[in-house]
Amino acid sequence: MTEPVLVEKADRLLVLTLNRPEKKNALTRGMYQTLATQINDANSDADVRCILLQANGDMFTAGNDLADFAAINSTDATRQDEDNPFIQALCSARKPLVAAVHGRAVGIGFTMLLHCDLVLVSEDAALTAPFVNLALVPEAASSLLLPLRIGHARAFEVFVLGATVHAQQAVDWGIANRAVPPAELHEAAHAAAQAIAARAPSSVSATKHLLRDETALRERMNLEREYFMRQLRSPEFREALAAFAEKRAADFSKFT
């Protein structure tokens, strides 16, 4: 059975590759845990100076596997709330994170980029955060980070109307560093990660720490999580799931 996350460590880089192309790299609990463990372990691994996130297949990721969300909605009486370990690991990462994004990046595939220190997108990249389309709310402190990056008006359109951010827009708005031809993406991202790894490690780590307010990020994550879990267990989300399965538009007219 093929591993859904490939892990490679070489030349002072940790390369984490999403490898579930038959499911559009939709992220499962097991994949989140693998990613989190690798990022957390890298914090104390002197052989790792930079982490590169990339994906196989025709897109970066379709976001969270909806089957996991559906399970929470259907078992709300017995299931306890759980933190997403990957989101927590992104927040506490001490090593620089580089992302190579091609095709579609949906939901957490978009919001994780706000925690990355350098982002390269292919010219065909399309980022979406359709949380409200699913009757959910933003996560990964993106409700704080995205408006800081692109402004309230743009962030509202991205989150509430599900507006797509295309590659050049992502660069122009400060979400990505640059857009490259699809065939050059992985090579360019690998070169960027190696350039970071060649710098003085303690200086790089300190600079990354100074650029981020981890306390504020965690506070916002906790608040988002309260709203997110409430929405996951809501009738609105149940309607959104049914509409998705039936390939129709969700009807929220009966909700107040």
> What was the pLDDT predicted at 76?
47
Share of the chain above pLDDT 90, in %: 91
Least confident of 65-74, 88-97, 133-142, 226-235: 65-74
More confident call, 75 vs 89: 89
Which pLDDT band, with edges at 50, 70 and 90, does 69 fall under? confident
More confident residue, 129 or 82: 129
List, for residues 132-151, the tens digit of each pLDDT value: 999 999 999 999 999 999 99
Residue 1 predicted with pLDDT over 80: no
Render pLDDT for 89-128 as a digit per residue (tens, 0 to 9): 999 999 999 999 999 999 999 999 999 999 999 999 999 9
* Number of alpha carbons in the 13 Å side-chain half-sphere of residue 201: 16
- pLDDT tens digit string along 174-217? 999 999 999 999 999 999 999 999 999 999 999 999 999 999 99
pLDDT averaged over every residue in the chain: 95
Distances in Å between the Cα of 60 and the Cα atoms of 13, 108, 109, 208 are 20, 11, 7, 24
Report how far residue 222's alpha carbon sits from residue 100's, in angstroms, rounded to the nearest whole number.
Answer: 28
Query: Which structure tokens are listed for 33?
Result: 């845990």
Distance separating alpha carbons of residues 30 and 106, to the nearest angstrom: 18
Instruction: Look up tokens 């596997």; give the residue.
Output: 65
Tokens standing for residue 162 = 């599900």
pLDDT for 77 beyond 80: no
Question: What per-residue confidence (pLDDT) applies to 79?
Answer: 47
Contact predicate 168/179, CB 8 Å: yes
Q: For residues 181 and 81, which has the higher predicted lDDT (pLDDT)? A: 181
Instruction: For residues 159 and 217, give the distance between their C-alpha atoms in angstroms, rounded to a whole number.
Output: 18
Q: In this predicted structure, what is the pLDDT of residue 166?
A: 98
pLDDT at 74: 63
For the chain, which residues make up each domain, given as ranges?
Answer: 5-183+200-207
Superfamily of domain 5-183+200-207: 2-enoyl-CoA Hydratase; Chain A, domain 1 (3.90.226.10)
Name, in order, each residue with C-beta under 8 angstroms of 27's C-beta and a sequence gap of 6 or more. Answer: 18, 61, 63, 64, 65, 86, 108, 109
Would you give the DSSP letter of residue 134?
G
pLDDT higher than 70, residue 75: no
Q: What is the mean pLDDT of residues 211-224?
A: 97
Q: What is the pTM of this model?
A: 0.94
